[in-house]
Structure 1
Amino acid sequence: MKKFTIKLWAVLLLMLVSLQTFATDNEYGLKDNIQDGVILHCFDWTYEQIKEELPNIAAAGFSAVQTSPAHPREPVGAAWYMLYQPYDYKVGENGLGTKEGLTELCTEAHQYGVKIIVDVVANHTNGNLSYVASFWQDQSLYHDYQGGINYSNRWQVTHGRIGMWDLKTEDSRVQEKIKEYVAELKSCGVDGIRWDAAKHIGLPSEEDTFWQNVPDQTMYNYGEILDGTGGDDTVLFPEYQKYISITDNQYGNHFAASFNSGQVNESVGNFNQRKAATNKLVYWGESHDTYCNDGGESKYISQNNIDRAYAVVAGNNGATALYFSRPFETAKSSIKVGVKGSTHFKDREVAAVNHLHNICAGEPNYYVHENGVAAQCRKSGAVIVLGSGGNREVSVTNGDGKGNWVKAGTYTDQVSGNTFTVTASKISGKVGAKGIAVIYEGEPLPPTPPAPSNLPACATWQEGKTFCYFENSSSWAGPIDAWVWNSNGNMYASWPGSTEHISKVGTHNGKDVYLWSIDKGVFEPTRIIFNSNKKPQTDDLDFENGAYYNASSEKVEVVSQTTGVQLHPVAGESSAKAMIYNLQGQRVDANYHGVVVCNGRKYVQ
């Protein structure tokens, strides 16, 4: 009997280990615990748009996707902030999709090991109670304080209105309704909740039991706390973290600002210096608040500088990190529900950071900042970020320089492919053009496959020309000028440049597309700025022949060049016939009918 018991325990232990391995690992290396992984914020995307990108999301190393609020009414095309003024607390049809669509998204996401987080707005409803469901029109469900908020006064923070009616979250009627909403989301397959305006909802020590009673602790929960609680953070942060993880917005925001000015920040965190536990923090390079609101501090910071900030904060152990998919519009009222944002998350400098985060989960980190370089050193790898520029040789201290951090050896940078040498004391190599290098032990990132083009048909190769395209994705008022230069000087006499070589060639998603073009050999640009009579303007863009830029200073893609095809007749045939397409799937020669497959897409002529 004793031998049987021992054998049974051995079998059960083996089964448990196997189950744990299955739960935490998959072919993408994603983490079962969202806090251990990283989150992609598909802000205002529809459920269907997210579902279409799931293979890319998983391949890029994101363990979770965050959606916008799922409550009913606001349609496609509504201003984004209307979803943050709830009509009712139930899963309903809105500009993101239906309840069935959310359920299908969760089911599909789980096939890839990706979790789904839904944004829940529980602090307030609308600014006008005639625009909420009948249950929520009862004024006894709301705090009656109507004065302004002094953000150093904790009581006002938890009882005052932020432009909308402030729910009495300590009221059992409010708690029960929102708890039912969370249960409904869970029944759809939702894995986690992001609690909007969490600092405005009180704690048990303040006679509000919302956090104690409402969040489902079998789900992942994190709350938005911007800057601080308005009270004693050293006391209130730990109390919030009994129930939810919380955002440390200042840490990532400060890094974004530093990289934007070409500097390296020395910070090792912000909220964790006020007694918040790092393993219940959420970091970011930017968020929808910093990008979408009027005066948003990140909307005019380039994507690359945001990526550098994200690389540093996501290099930490314990904290998760959120990567924000930028809308293509920048004006607050122009950012709309149901409009898909940037897919830059697929780029190697982002994906490599995510894979490092996942591979090194549980390993401590040591932050190094020296000579204009930032590095997060782990046991199994490191992320190295330049304060400015790219294509630069670096040599930074390996953690404390005593052989306790990245293992000595030769590594390949997963972003550029450059070689890095690691000794007990130093990490040395060349950081590529993106300004971000990632080295780690483990399976390398697969080569990036060519993706179906997102370019419009009007963006074509210009033979014999030096050229690029600009999409006025933010609907700037015209005319559009170009300011062009290289190390020898400027092409045009004075700022803001000229419209002389710019012509409108078409539209894309309702936005005008412009071609800047000169004869080859006239001038060799290295930088270009597009602007609308001085302001607004793009960042200094690295000029690449054939590049397609947008108003968010992103290089969306490079127009492909068809180099030619040589035809050889099959034996017995008098001639060879072919249809030729470029990498955009655009027909180059249209003499013959037939079918061609390009990047997984079938084209019929």
Structure 2
Amino acid sequence: MSMSPTPPPRARRPLATALAVGALALGGVVTLPTPGAAADTGAPNGDVIANLWQWNWKSVAKECTDTLDPAGYGAVQVAPPEESLRQADFYWWDVYQPYSYALDSRFGSAADFKSMIDTCHGAGIQVYTDAVINHTAAQTGTGYAGTTLGNRYDTPDFDPADSDDCTKTIANWSDQHEVQHCELLGMPDLDTAEQGVRDKIIGFLNKQIDLGVDGFRVDAAKHIETGDLSAIVGALHKTASGAAPYVTQEVYPGNPPAVGDYYANGDVLDFTYAAAMKSQFGGGDIANLASFGSSWGLADEEHSNTFVTNHDTERNGYTLSYKDGATATLANVFQLARGYGRPSVYAAWNFDQSDQAPPNDGNGFVTDTDCAGGWTCLDRDTAVTGMVGWHNAAAGAAVTDWQSPASNVIGFGRGSAGFVALNNSSAENTFTYTTGLPDGTYPNDIDGGATSVTVSDGRATLTVPAKSAVAFHATR
């Protein structure tokens, strides 16, 4: 399996009008967390990343304590924290046009940012930020901290000499030099080959680490030479835990440079994985997933940061999105069950137009997340939170007992740790599965234990509703 070599359009400018808003969860129901949860529940935290895209800092902090820690998430990925372009229409992509490295943004103040980090750490959740270090802003104006730019090459952090010599917009995506040295959608490309430029970027990232940040999603990593990025990553401070910061990189596959060129720097966002989820859950047959793995053209498993959708791909149609309702949720269930790479669960907001800003106060500042009022809180969905715990319990176990009793119906285990059956068809399905689990009665992780499963002689008869799943695991 492979993706088109032509990169999808980067969403830094208006895209086509989106489809109407659809259901989010399996059955269209989102379960809200219990308010007032303790700062740390003691639940084991695994490796699943909650990508709370463009949530404000206060809402992220609350989610860490109320939802992410109790469910067993390991980390939260948040929006770019630096000051960015602020324009009258408040597009979402404003935050990918940095104005300064001040940590005052549309998501809150520097104090709010620090408070969020401390709160999430108190709940056992690591914090990764979106690092926009390839470029500065294409548009002049005023930023969220009051910085005014009259020259897009001259910012509080960089002067014109810090930009690459190529000032044309990338047009030939097959020319690696052009891709890495010219301007992405008109945004000045920083000359990361210069030590002075590297030092400024390193200083910005280390400032965040010193505040407690545990890692970074490197935006537009494909547009930075791997050697330059390696020099930057190599100069980063250790995190509060004493470890090197986690790094995942945005590298579209297809045209040069190759995805594998970036493995030395950390993980890569696995766009091929996300495309496969759409091709099989969104119109194919999930029974085909029996052979799913590196042979499908995925990123190397050791370096794959998987996802079902993200902010670019849910807008350009490259992947499933919340508009696909239960189908997208079911794909997330599979992602958490299958155990390839490091999984991310994406939660953002409803949109009617592709460059629509997140819910805000009318001045561009993002308001508190309201899952009943415009936000798509997939990270809270009962099926997803149940599967985060299932995923943690099954960590390290091989995929076993693969069965497909009908088209778009599958079941498989992870050794004796857990079993899951998924039904992506339009009709209920009943089948007796070989589970690999010890005999006994187990709560169904998909519905939060409202129903249970009985295993006898290693087998279980499961009735799986259309566009739903049944999952259960042994306690470790």
1:29 aligns with 2:44: yes
CA distance in 2, matches of 1:270, 1:161: 35
Deviation (angstroms), 1:229:
5.7
Local SS of the residue matching 1:83: helix
Residue 67 of structure 1 aligns to which amino acid in structure 2? V
- Within 5 Å, give how 1:515-554 maps onto structure 2: none
Deviation (angstroms), 1:196:
0.8
* Residue in 2 that maps onto 1:84: 96
**How many corresponding residue pairs?**
399
Deviation (angstroms), 1:84:
0.7
* Residue in 2 that maps onto 1:388: 425
Deviation (angstroms), 1:221:
1.0
Residue 214 of structure 2 aligns to which amino acid in structure 1? D
- Within 5 Å, give how 1:428-439 maps onto structure 2: 428-432=461-465, 435-439=468-472
Deviation (angstroms), 1:137:
3.7
CA distance in 2, matches of 1:316, 1:281: 13
- Within 5 Å, give how 1:382-531 maps onto structure 2: 382-389=419-426, 391-396=428-433, 406-407=437-438, 410-416=441-447, 417-421=451-455, 428-432=461-465, 435-442=468-475
Deviation (angstroms), 1:168:
1.7
Local SS of the residue matching 2:288: coil
1:306 aligns with 2:342: no
Contact 1:99/1:188 (CA < 8 Å) preserved in 2? no
Local SS of the residue matching 1:315: helix
Deviation (angstroms), 1:108:
0.8
Deviation (angstroms), 1:432:
4.0
Deviation (angstroms), 1:210:
3.8
Local SS of the residue matching 1:266: helix
User: Structure 1 420/167 Cα, relative in aligned 2: closer, same or farther at 3 Å?
Assistant: farther
Gaps of 5+ in 2: 1-39, 141-150, 239-243, 359-364, 370-374
Deviation (angstroms), 1:179:
0.6
Local SS of the residue matching 2:60: helix
Residue 464 of structure 2 aligns to which amino acid in structure 1? V
CA distance in 1, matches of 2:330, 2:63: 23
Aligned partner (choices 39, 61, 76) of residue 65 of structure 1: 76
Deviation (angstroms), 1:256:
2.8
Local SS of the residue matching 1:438: strand
Local SS of the residue matching 1:127: coil
Bigger relative CO (Cα 8 Å, ≥ 6 apart):
2
Contact 1:66/1:117 (CA < 8 Å) preserved in 2? yes
Aligned partner (choices 302, 305, 312) of residue 289 of structure 1: 312
TM (norm. structure 2) is 0.75
Residue 207 of structure 2 aligns to which amino acid in structure 1? E
* Residue in 2 that maps onto 1:356: 390
Local SS of the residue matching 1:199: helix
Aligned partner (choices 228, 244, 248) of residue 222 of structure 1: 248
Contact 2:438/2:455 (CA < 8 Å) preserved in 1? no
CA distance in 2, matches of 1:199, 1:53: 31
* Residue in 2 that maps onto 1:42: 52
1:249 aligns with 2:271: yes
Structure 1's consecutive aligned runs of 4 or more residues displaced over 6 angstroms after TM superposition are none
User: Structure 1 160/369 Cα, relative in aligned 2: closer, same or farther at 3 Å?
Assistant: farther
Residue 394 of structure 1 aligns to which amino acid in structure 2? F
User: Structure 1 413/209 Cα, relative in aligned 2: closer, same or farther at 3 Å?
Assistant: closer
Aligned partner (choices 172, 177, 183) of residue 195 of structure 2: 172
User: Structure 1 30/146 Cα, relative in aligned 2: closer, same or farther at 3 Å?
Assistant: same
CA distance in 1, matches of 2:236, 2:287: 35
Contact 1:45/1:96 (CA < 8 Å) preserved in 2? yes
Superposed CA RMSD in Å reads 3.0
CA distance in 2, matches of 1:355, 1:119: 26
Deviation (angstroms), 1:378:
0.8
User: Structure 1 369/195 Cα, relative in aligned 2: closer, same or farther at 3 Å?
Assistant: farther
Aligned partner (choices 348, 363, 383) of residue 326 of structure 1: 348
Gaps of 5+ in 1: 1-24, 32-36, 399-404, 444-605
User: Structure 1 422/149 Cα, relative in aligned 2: closer, same or farther at 3 Å?
Assistant: farther
| Identity of matched residues, % | 20
Contact 2:401/2:434 (CA < 8 Å) preserved in 1? no
Aligned partner (choices 341, 352, 357) of residue 335 of structure 1: 357
Contact 1:120/1:193 (CA < 8 Å) preserved in 2? yes
CA distance in 2, matches of 1:343, 1:43: 10
* Residue in 2 that maps onto 1:347: 381
CA distance in 2, matches of 1:367, 1:133: 58
User: Structure 1 396/150 Cα, relative in aligned 2: closer, same or farther at 3 Å?
Assistant: farther
TM (norm. structure 1) is 0.60
Residue 444 of structure 2 aligns to which amino acid in structure 1? D
- Deviations along 1:209-253, one digit per CA (max 9) or x if unpaired, are 54553555611111112234624x4xx51x422221111112123
CA distance in 2, matches of 1:300, 1:49: 20
Local SS of the residue matching 2:331: helix
Residue 83 of structure 1 aligns to which amino acid in structure 2? V
